[in-house]
Amino acid sequence: MPAARLKSVKIIYIFDTMQPTPILKAIFTLTALILCGLIKAQIINYAHGPEQDCVNAIHISANGQFYYDMPYEGYGSVSEVNPKNSCLTYADENSVWFKVCIANPGELNFCIQPEDGNADYNYAVYNLTTASCSDIYNNSTLEVSCNSSNGTFPSNCTGPSGGAYPMEEPTIQVDAGDIYYILVSRHDGSNTPDGFYIYCIYTPTGIISNIDCNAPLSVNNNSIASLTLYPNPAGNTLTLYLPAIKQGQSAGIIIYNSSGAMVKQVADISQPKTLLDVANLPTGLYYYIINTCNGQHSGRFLKN
């Protein structure tokens, strides 16, 4: 009999002669086995956070790379994925949400790489350009890419990377102004403490916006009644309509490109209707802030 086994039997025998309660005996027996090396105990730290809810998704900027050194556990305040409408048969088990804002048309291509090759990370992508997080559960058409393959990671990558392995899916065709939410979920029994990487560096430069498309661009994002900026998408001109502006008041507008750089500014607007020349702006997604006496208003538009 191995020495460790002999030690554990001796310790348990001595304790047993003391006639402990069944619960104390079970606790002591397990402790003895661990101390003698028969059971290896491993404490795993799991991540928890608001980003486990879709509405608090982490914004991924252009060519972003994120590393999480420990796995997520559970899901957010509610389960947001219906396994009947998704390839994720375990829904949003042990998951975290990311968000990608599209500045220019092209192909979205990302890769999830587990730190431990035996860990089973899955994903799903949802197009929420004209929908919200609350629509995901009942609307199966919002899921545009998904993979729950439990392969052995021969490519060391899971995602819409355009590869031929079971964990890889076709790249996603995207248009300027699109908003995509990515759910990364882990389902496996390895119980390893390792996290994962998520890469967007494979998406061509200029497609992913550096600006969070859902975040307010102004300190005070109050709604201004009847304020409109049209048409959207825009051609060579935009019309700014401010019917509530009064005599002696003025307003201003600042326009930013998808990288956050200011590309146009117009101040001292005092008329209810103003034409803005945007002919020199390249095709793409733009953001704007309108300053008035009643506060600030932010939004976005496409330039054709």
Please tell me what DSSP assigns to residue 271: S
Strand partners for 168: 159
Please give the biggest Cα pair distance in the chain.
98
Give domain status of residue 99, yes or no: yes
Contact 12, 31 (CB under 8 A): no
Region of 205 please: left (phi>0), alpha (psi -120 to 50) or beta. beta
Residues 290 and 170 placed together within one structural domain of the fold: no
Same domain, 55 and 30: no
Residues of the chain where predicted confidence (pLDDT) is lower than 70: 1-47, 62-65, 69-70, 150-155, 188-194, 201-203, 214-226
| Angle at CA of residue 205, ends 202 and 209, nearest 5° | 105
> Same structural domain for residues 54 and 31?
no
Q: Do 81 and 187 reside in the same domain of the chain?
A: yes
pLDDT in tens, 189-209: 455 566 777 877 566 777 888
Cα 236 to Cα 299: distance, rounded to the nearest angstrom: 18
d(C-alpha 133, C-alpha 143), whole Å: 12
Calculate the CA 221 to chain-centre distance.
23
Q: How many domains does the chain have?
A: 3
**160 with 182: CB under 8 angstroms?**
no
> Are 31 and 55 in the same domain?
no
Identify the DSSP state of 204.
Answer: P
Length of the chain: 304
> What six digits make up the tokens of 183?
């759910």
* CA terminus-to-terminus distance, the chain: 80
The label of the residue with tokens 């704007």 reads 288
Confidence (pLDDT) at 136: 95
Question: Is residue 219 included in any domain, yes or no?
Answer: no
CATH, residue 148: 2.60.120.380
Query: 71-84, pLDDT tens digit by residue?
Result: 788 888 889 999 99
CB count within 10 Å of CB 86 equals: 23
pTM: 0.66
3-state SS, residue 118:
coil
Q: Which residues contact 52 (CB under 8 A, 6 or more apart)?
A: 72, 74, 75, 76, 95, 96, 97
Domain co-membership, 123 together with 257: no
Shared domain for 64 and 139, answered yes or no, is yes
Residue 143: what pLDDT? 97
- Say yes or no: 167 and 65 in one domain: yes
Which domain covers residue 60, as residue numbers?
50-199
- Position 124 scores a pLDDT of 96
